Amino acid sequence: MNNSDNTNPDNTNRSLSMKGKTALVTGAAGGLGQNFTQCLLEAGATVIVSGRRREALESLSASFPEYASHIHVVTMDVTD
């Protein structure tokens, strides 16, 4: 994260670059998971979306056609 003014905790000019990074979002079909997925994709990450409901994950993936090559669906239950 680039924070050019470390003395200002409210600095809104921060940028997050995730280019070349891979992120795993668990519970991606839920509201927060969808938001995290969008933020990570927009920051340049390749995102693995995971959860128990494959249909919901596929729908989430389809909602970002411009990032089709950067989003991957994995069905799993992290409690196992």
Give the count of beta carbons closer than 10 Å to the beta carbon of residue 45. Answer: 22
Evaluate whether residue 27 is within a structural domain: yes
Given CA atoms 39, 45, 51, 53 in this order, what sign does their dihedral have? positive
Q: State yes or no: pLDDT of 11 exceeds 70.
A: no
Give per-residue pLDDT as tens, 15-72: 789 999 999 999 999 999 999 999 999 999 999 999 999 999 999 999 999 999 999 9
| Amino acid 14: pLDDT | 58
Evaluate whether residue 57 is within a structural domain: yes
Report the domain count for the chain.
1
Over residues 75-80, mean pLDDT? 87
Evaluate whether residue 12 is within a structural domain: no
Helix (H, G, I), strand (E, B) or coil at 66: helix
Residue scoring higher pLDDT (9 or 45): 45
Evaluate whether residue 3 is within a structural domain: no
Residues 35, 10: Cα–Cα separation, whole Å = 21
The domain in which residue 61 lies consists of 22-75
